[in-house]
Structure 1
Amino acid sequence: MKAFIFDLDGVITDSAEYHYLAWKALGEDLGIPIDREFNETLKGVSRTESLERILRLGHRENDFSLEEKEKLATKKNSHYVSLIAKITSADILPGIETFLSELREAGYKIGMASASKNAQMVTRQLGLLHAFDHIVDAATVMDSKPHPEVFLKAAEALAVDPKDCIGVEDAVAGIEAIRAAGMFAVGIGERNVLIEADIVFTDTRDLTLENVLTRI
C-alpha cells in the first residue's frame, strides 16, 4: 500500500452534525420533517442528491424547477457554512492528527475524497491543509458517491494505482465508492452498517498504521 485517502465528514471532523442541522432547517421550511435516522441516508451523498432524497421523502420532487432546486441547495449550504464558521483544530476527531503524522513519517501519500464542496475551507479551519498532498471535493467531480470518481481522482492526483490505496470512510455510500474504485476499505462506525468495508473501527482512536496493516 502506498496511499491513504480519507473522507472528511465523520472521519477527520464531525461536521456531519452541522449538515444534519442545515438540512433539518431546510426541511422545516418545506414542510418535510427530517429525523436523524433519515439523515443517515444522506451521509456521503452530494448536496444535489441529498436534496432530491428529501424532496422524495416529502413527495415534493416535482414541485420545483431545476433553478429552484439550485436555490434550495444554496440556501442549505449558506446555513451550513454559517454553522461551521467557528470550527477549529479542537474539532478534529480523536487520534486523527497522530495518525496523519504517523502516515507522513512512514512515507505514505495522503489524500482526501470528500462529498462536500466546502472541504478545502473546513480543512483549512482545522489547520490540516498541510497534512494532505491533495484534496478532491464535490466541486471537481461529475458523479457523487457511491460512484468511485472522487476516490479515483484522488488516486490519480497522488500518482498511485487505486489497488495500492486505502480509503477511509464513515458512510455506506463512501465504502461502496472505495470498493468500486478497487481500493481497500476501512470503515469508521458500526460493523453491521458498514458491511462492505474490509475492516471497521468503531472509534478514530483505533486508527493506527499497525492496526490497519495487520488486517490487510
Structure 2
Amino acid sequence: MPQTSTARAVLLDMDGTLVDSTAVVERLWLEWADAHGLDDDRVLSVIHGRQGHESMAILLPERDPAINRAENARMLSAEGVDTDGVVAVPGAAELLAGIVGLPHALVTSADEALAAARMAAAGLRVPEVRVTAEHVSRSKPDPEGFLLGAELLAVDPQDCIVFEDSHAGIAAGLAAGMTVIGVGERAGGAGAQALVADLTQVTIRPVDGGIEVTVA
C-alpha cells in the first residue's frame, strides 16, 4: 500500500542511501579490524552511519581519541582513492533529478572530499547544500547534522523528510524530530516511518507550499 508524506525539505544520507559503497567500506574496515585483532562481525555492526573516529572509539574505548582521529583521516584518504565497486543506489539519479529546485541537502558522515569522490564515482549530482564531517562536532546517531541541514535550508526540523539506510542515521533523523524513510535491508527494525528496498520505490513531486513524497 503506497504511503504519502508531505514536507518542505528533503535531507539525504549518502553511503547506502544514494551511493552503494558497501564493498569498499567493508573491505577497508575489515583490514583495519584484522590489524587490531577485532571481530569482523562486531566491527561491521558498528561502522555504518557513523564517522570513523567515533566507530573506533566504540570499538577501542581505551584508546586516545587523537589516535582515532589521525587513523580515521588516513582511512578517509584511502576511501577517497579507492572507489572500486562504488555505484549509485537504484533510483538515486532520478530522485536527485526530481528535487532540483526544491529544498534539499546532503547530510553525510563522510568528509567533503570523500563525498565528492563517491558521488562522482556513482555518477550522481552533488547537492549544493551539504553537511559533511567537517561541519559537525558529533556524529550520527546524534541529530546535529540533520538539524544543521534543516537550519541551512531555513526549514523547521519537523517539516523535513530524511532518507537513511543505517540504524545510526535513522536514530539521528528521529531524534531531530523528522520523518524518516529507511532505504535498503540495513534499515529494517530501526523505527523508520517507512521502508523501501531502494529509491525506485520513491516518487517526489512539488505541491502547493511543499513537497509530496510517496513510497510504493
Task: Name the TM-score, length of structure 2 as normaliser.
Answer: 0.82
Question: Match of 1:39?
Answer: 44
Can you give the 5+ residue segments of structure 2 that lack an aligned partner in the other structure?
Answer: 1-6, 206-211
1:163-202 deviation digits (Å, cap 9, x = unpaired): 1110000011111111111111100124983431011112
Contact 2:109 2:139 in 1 (8 A): yes
Deviation of 1:79 after TM superposition, in Å, equals: 2.8
Greater percentage in strand: 2
The aligned length equals: 201
What is the Cα-based RMSD across aligned positions, in Å?
A: 2.4
Q: Secondary structure at the match of 1:213?
A: strand
Deviation of 1:124 after TM superposition, in Å, equals: 3.9
Can you give the 5+ residue segments of structure 1 that lack an aligned partner in the other structure?
Answer: 56-60
Report the Cα distance in structure 1 between the residues aligned to 2:189 and 2:201, rounded to whole angstroms.
16
Question: Match of 2:53?
Answer: 48
Contact 1:175 1:194 in 2 (8 A): no
Greater percentage in helix: 1
Deviation of 1:74 after TM superposition, in Å, equals: 2.8
Q: Secondary structure at the match of 2:35?
A: helix
1:133-160 deviation digits (Å, cap 9, x = unpaired): 3010111101111111101111111121
Question: Match of 1:28?
Answer: 34
Aligned identity (percent) is 29
After the TM superposition, which residues 1-216 of structure 1 pair with which residues of structure 2 at under 5 Å, given as runs? 1-35=7-41, 38-55=43-60, 61-62=61-62, 64-84=63-83, 91-104=87-100, 107-117=101-111, 118-129=114-125, 132-190=127-185, 193-209=188-204, 213-214=213-214
- Residue 170 of structure 1 aligns to which amino acid in structure 2? D
Report the Cα distance in structure 1 between the residues aligned to 2:214 and 2:188, rounded to whole angstroms.
22
- Residue 119 of structure 1 aligns to which amino acid in structure 2? A
Task: Name the TM-score, length of structure 1 as normaliser.
Answer: 0.82
